[in-house]
Amino acid sequence: MTSISAGSKRDEPSNLRFIETSRPVVDESREVVASLSEQPPRLSPKYFYDSQGSELFEAITELPEYYLTRAEAEIFGRHLDEIVEALGVADVIIEPGSGNCSKVLPLLERALPHTFVPIDIAGNFLWEAAKDVARQLPELSVTAIAADFTRDWTFTQAIPAGHRIVFYPGSTLGNFEPDAQRDFITQLARVVGARGAILLGIDLHKDGVTLQQAYDDTAGVTAAFNRNILRVVNERAGADFKPDQWRHEARYNPDLRRIEMDLIAESEDAISVGGQGFVFPPGAAIRTEHSYKFTLEDIQHLAAHAGLSLAKHWLDNQSRFCLALLVPGTASP
């Protein structure tokens, strides 16, 4: 079970509570050894994110090729009133993978929850983002939780009761494998309970060129983001990768409807982690990310699996991205 501690920091605003859950190096290294032993070797995309990785992701969202963030913002810009009305009472807004918290701000300002709960694995980045929100909205209570949401959800005990809304934007759901997507939505359904709802930002299946470019920009920011995973794994799991010896590759797999992101060894990298050695010869690949793309039907199936239904959805003007409202219960015929 994860241990939880309420941290107190020097410049904490009075409306901010910061909760840290423990992530022992031994657990991380065991996990890394297991995933590097798979064929093909893998690393979980959660290792992209320390403060530097979160900053690189922020830079990705501003790239001309990365349409996802702009499309999602366009939906918010055009439909915010309708979205807030459809949500109904929102006492608590919970955002797993909250990043810089920029997307949730308009929602917080209009839906007026009493508490906002950002949850993110990148603890220091979360601290800064949560502090900004707490300062901008002094009437709001902010309970920021630094946690790995792929582990147990014991931290939900820190989330106040009431009508809970989970806001899960950015198509982060697509980084899970299909089984894990279903488990995650089921977990979110449990968190919101019978009176809540989930507002899900989902990237839609589209032509492969647009998708491939979104994950392989000409400025090389996604490449830097991808390589950063090795630095984070070195730090968190005690590995000794040489990030500069690896290059970025991304392609769209239309059959599985997913972006596949790899790191390719340009020269041999012999590493050790958790007491185990791995030798990556030139040309060896490590799979670092899948980013699944969805159809509306996929979203309906995911919702149904968790005992939810797709109550409403909004698209950007080019139908590239979808904001979906999932509510408890089965869809009416």
Ligand X SMILES: C[S@@+](CC[C@H](N)C(=O)[O-])C[C@H]1O[C@@H](n2cnc3c(N)ncnc32)[C@H](O)[C@@H]1O
Is 149 a binding residue for ligand X by CB under 6 A? The answer is yes
**Which string of x and - marks every residue 157-176 that binds ligand X (by CB under 6 A)?**
------------xx-x----
Give the residue, chosen from 29, 32, 36, 98, that forms a contact with ligand X under the rule CB under 6 A. Answer: 98
**Which string of x and - marks every residue 62-91 that binds ligand X (by CB under 6 A)?**
-------x----------------------
**Torsion, Cα of 229, 232, 236, 237 (10° steps):** 50
Residue closest to ligand X when measured from CB atoms: 170
Residue 165 contacts residue 92 (beta carbons within 8 Å) = yes
**254 phi, psi to nearest 5 deg:** -70, -25
Residue with tokens 């797993």: 96
The DSSP secondary-structure symbol of 257 reads T
Which of 143/284 has CB closer to ligand X? 143
Which of 51/309 has CB closer to ligand X? 51
- Other beta carbons within 10 angstroms of residue 313's beta carbon come to 16
Nearest-angstrom CA–CA distance, 124 and 110? 27
**Torsion, Cα of 201, 205, 209, 210 (10° steps):** -30
149: three-class secondary structure by DSSP:
coil
Is 198 a binding residue for ligand X by CB under 6 A? The answer is no
Which of 184/278 has CB closer to ligand X? 184
Is 278 a binding residue for ligand X by CB under 6 A? The answer is no
Listed in sequence order, the DSSP H helices in 23-122 are 25-36, 51-61, 67-87, 105-111
- Helix then strand then coil, in percent of the chain rounded to 5, is 40, 30, 30
Is 258 a binding residue for ligand X by CB under 6 A? The answer is no
CB of 268 to ligand X, least distance (A): 30
Given the rule CB under 6 A, which of 82-90, 98-106, 243-251, 297-305 is the region that contacts ligand X?
Answer: 98-106
Given the rule CB under 6 A, which of 9-17, 28-36, 46-54, 273-281 is the region that contacts ligand X?
Answer: 46-54
Give the residue, chosen from 103, 131, 290, 293, that forms a contact with ligand X under the rule CB under 6 A. Answer: 103
Is 54 a binding residue for ligand X by CB under 6 A? The answer is yes
Give the residue, chosen from 150, 156, 245, 309, that forms a contact with ligand X under the rule CB under 6 A. Answer: 150
DSSP string, 190-231: HHHGGG-EEEEEEEBP--HHHHHHHTS-TTSHHHHHHHHHHH
CB of 130 to ligand X, least distance (A): 12
Query: Site residues (CB under 6 A) for ligand X?
Result: 46, 49, 54, 57, 61, 69, 97-99, 103, 120-122, 148-150, 169-170, 172
